Amino acid sequence: MRRSKVFIPTSKDAPSDAQLVSHIFLSRAGFVSQNAAGLYNYMPLAKRVIRKIENIIHEEMNNIGAQEVELSFVTPASLWEESGRMEKFGKELLRFRDRKDNLFLLGPTHEEMMVDLVRNRITSYKQLPMNLYQIKTKFRDEARPRFGLMRGREFTMKDGYSFHASEEDLNREFDAVEASYKKILSRLGLDFRVVEADSGAIGGSASKEIMVIADSGEDTIAICSKCEYGANIEAATRSVKTELPEAPEAAFNKFQTPNVKSIEELKAFFKVDAYYTIKCVAKKVIYDESSEIVLFFLRGSDTLQDVKAMNATEALEIEDASEEELTKIGLFPGFVGPLDQDKAKHVIDESLRGATNMICGANEQDYHFVGADLSVISDVAYFCDIAQVNEGDSCTHCEGELSFSKGIEVGHIFKLGTTYSKALKAEFLDENGKAQSFIMGTYGMGVSRLVASVVEQHHDESGCIWTKATAPYMVNVMVSNIKDEEQMKMGEDLYLKLQVAGVEVMIDDRKDRFGFKMKDAELIGFPYTVIIGKELVNGNVQIFTRATKEKDDVSADNVFKSIMELI
Ligand code: ATP
Ligand code: MG
């Protein structure tokens, strides 16, 4: 391609709302342009990167026997009514009616559509397993579309769905998809981690996320220093503490603690470690058609993990409860303890099961209990893991310490079981001729988010640094002065030679100043630029390596060979 002819509108200015480097550089380097909040146009460079990512995905999907399909983007709402997800997805679904007044939506994910595709078409266990996938536009009317391609409203996703006759077979496929996702990410040249994810009510190892490690990531992941364990903070677990701070041993007693409300105040008042205090986090828990105040109790040294709290209560949403709401049901904010179960529903963190020597609210204005023993409520209370792990906590798989890191979720794989097949009555006949619901897995990967992720992980102050697998062009032939006939001839020859060799190459044949053209090349991020300049008279050119910004002199005769070796 000739730089003088291609459509790459680079610019000095970034969009005013751009915060992430990927958003800034992808806009400035002419990869994408924004139409409206969360809506982007892909320009030629972006299309090339996306195609590369897609090709790698297709190859790896093919390797595990997954088959490509393409389902319509416009989705009949009736399918979502069948699954009951219309409500759950709420405002993220963009709904509209056609001229016959039928309700449709733009697919944000395709579980229903895919189940509908196979139901009554796959009818026997002999046709299983089946893994079908597509790479397709999705639409989610995200509440806060931001960060460019990272969180768009319209975006490109690879979504796959597998159908099985048994759990064992689903497990096998899940592992195969995980392995192929790892290959895809490695091939793209990304540093990533596969972590355990929140799986809502399903739980267990039923869901994993593929996280690209980047400081700008929206997710926090807990990583073990010794073993492979990693988990989204929403799902991370820890082992029971063995090295404990000194316990405040005291007989069970009620103490007057005027105005001592926070954990900090309690610690200071009793001179104890927060580990031996009990914190109450009061929330308003919102269900499908009702809401209630729920009291979450944790050790004072821990914090409530909201997603765990939602799972523990099967809530649609949780909000902070106000002091008035607590007072109204007879509670004393600042003095709420877990020993009186009558006034509101309690959820108590697992680490408090059977805990002794605790200090907690006495459910009386200005009073706390000391020496509280939670085993007295072990039969009536609901204990559950609702605490967020802390850095320094111990891994549940080994003795390693957990630490936090930021990640970008680029993939999510999930064992669905029969949730959708049951709801949509999609069945096959098993070996005994009995009707069974399909056992399913679902596997997503954010293609457009991957483009942004590469830049988040690979950039410097001058612009993008594409990995070899993702670069829109591998080599940029920079003719420093196009009026110089020798330089131009050398450039054209090399350009042609590289093209014939199958290298994706650009020639910068613009009239502009050399400095300007170099800045432009750095912004776009070609892995290699061959600089053909003044030194050509002495038979020399330079190879500029974008990642290191090093310029190496090579003889003009050898440059083709050198480039071929580098790529
Ligand atoms: P997030 O928590 O980031 O909103 P999600 O859990 O909603 O993601 P999934 O429903 O699992 O995501 O979708 C599969 C993949 O699609 C995600 O792993 C992510 O890479 C990508 N993805 C999801 N939402 C968006 C978006 N708004 N813009 C770009 N990519 C997205
Ligand atoms: Mg989302």
| Ligand nearest to the CA of residue 453, numbered in listed order | 1
pLDDT of 201: 61
Q: Identify the residues whose C-beta falls under 6 Å from ligand 1.
A: 109, 140, 142, 151-152, 155, 157, 409-412, 444, 446, 448-449
Report the residue count for the chain: 567
pLDDT of 205: 62
- Say if residues 31 and 41 touch (Cβ distance below 8 Å): no
Task: Indicate whether 239 pLDDT > 60.
Answer: yes
| Ligand nearest to the CA of residue 209, numbered in listed order | 1
Question: E-strand spans in 309-366?
Answer: 317-320, 345-349, 358-361
DSSP 169-185: HHHHHHHHHHHHHHHHH
Q: Measured between alpha carbons, how far apart are the two ends of the chain, in Å?
A: 18
The CATH 3.90.960.10 portion of the chain extends over: 253-388
pLDDT of 274: 95
Largest Cα separation within the chain, whole Å, is 95
The CATH 3.40.50.800 portion of the chain extends over: 475-566
Residue 31: name the closest of 21, 40, 42 by CA: 42
Instruction: Using a pLDDT cut of 90, give the percent of the chain over it.
Output: 91
Q: Which one is the CATH code of 475-566: 2.60.40.3140, 3.10.50.40, 3.40.50.800, 3.10.20.30?
A: 3.40.50.800
Condensed to tens digits (0 to 9), the pLDDT of residues 177-190 reads 999 999 999 999 99
User: Which of 409, 414, 451 for a ligand 1 pocket mutation test, highest count of atoms within 8 Å of Cβ?
Assistant: 409
Query: Whose CA is closest to atom 16 on ligand 1?
Result: 446
| Ligand nearest to the CA of residue 412, numbered in listed order | 1
Ligand 2 centroid–CA 12 distance in Å is 32
- Say if residues 252 and 215 touch (Cβ distance below 8 Å): no
Q: And the tokens for 447? A: 């293609």
Ligand 2 centroid–CA 108 distance in Å is 9
Query: Whose CA is closest to atom 24 on ligand 1?
Result: 151
Ligand 2 centroid–CA 142 distance in Å is 7
Q: Phi and psi dihedrals of 84, rounded to 5?
A: 80, 15
Give the atom of ligand 1 at the shortest distance from the alpha carbon of 157. 16
Give the atom of ligand 1 at the shortest distance from the alpha carbon of 445. 15
The CATH class of 253-388 is alpha beta
* Amino acid in position 395: C
pLDDT of 12: 94
Give the atom of ligand 1 at the shortest distance from the alpha carbon of 409. 18
Q: What is the average pLDDT across 357-375?
A: 95
- Say if residues 370 and 248 touch (Cβ distance below 8 Å): yes
Side-chain half-sphere exposure of 307, counting CA atoms within 13 A: 16
Condensed to tens digits (0 to 9), the pLDDT of residues 278-307 reads 999 999 999 988 999 999 999 999 999 999
Q: Cα 300 vs. chain centroid, distance in angstroms?
A: 30
Give the atom of ligand 1 at the shortest distance from the alpha carbon of 444. 14
User: Which of 144, 157, 158 for a ligand 1 pocket mutation test, highest count of atoms within 8 Å of Cβ?
Assistant: 157
Condensed to tens digits (0 to 9), the pLDDT of residues 250-260 reads 899 999 999 99
Q: Phi and psi dihedrals of 493, rounded to 5?
A: -65, -45
- Say if residues 451 and 50 touch (Cβ distance below 8 Å): yes
Residue 531: name the closest of 465, 479, 489 by CA: 479
Ligand 2 centroid–CA 239 distance in Å is 30
Ligand 1 centroid–CA 248 distance in Å is 47
Q: What is the average pLDDT across 1-11?
A: 96
Q: What is the average pLDDT across 420-424?
A: 95
Condensed to tens digits (0 to 9), the pLDDT of residues 463-508 reads 999 999 999 999 999 999 999 999 999 999 999 999 999 999 999 9
Is 290 exposed, middle or buried (CB count within 10 Å of its CB: 0-12, 13-18, 19+)? Answer: exposed
Rounded distance between C-alpha atoms, residue 103 and residue 95, angstroms = 7
Residue 456: name the closest of 504, 413, 411, 406 by CA: 406
Task: Indicate whether 563 pLDDT > 80.
Answer: yes
pLDDT of 67: 98
Condensed to tens digits (0 to 9), the pLDDT of residues 393-416 reads 999 999 899 999 999 999 999 999
Task: Indicate whether 204 pLDDT > 80.
Answer: no
pLDDT of 316: 86
- Say if residues 182 and 194 touch (Cβ distance below 8 Å): yes
When pLDDT is cut at 50, 70 and 90, the band that residue 113 belongs to is: very high
Return the minimum-mean-pLDDT range out of 204-213, 341-350, 399-408.
204-213
Sequence-distant (≥ 6) Cβ neighbours of residue 153 within 8 angstroms: 37, 38, 39, 139, 140, 141, 142, 145
21-237+403-456: what fold? BirA Bifunctional Protein; domain 2 (3.30.930)
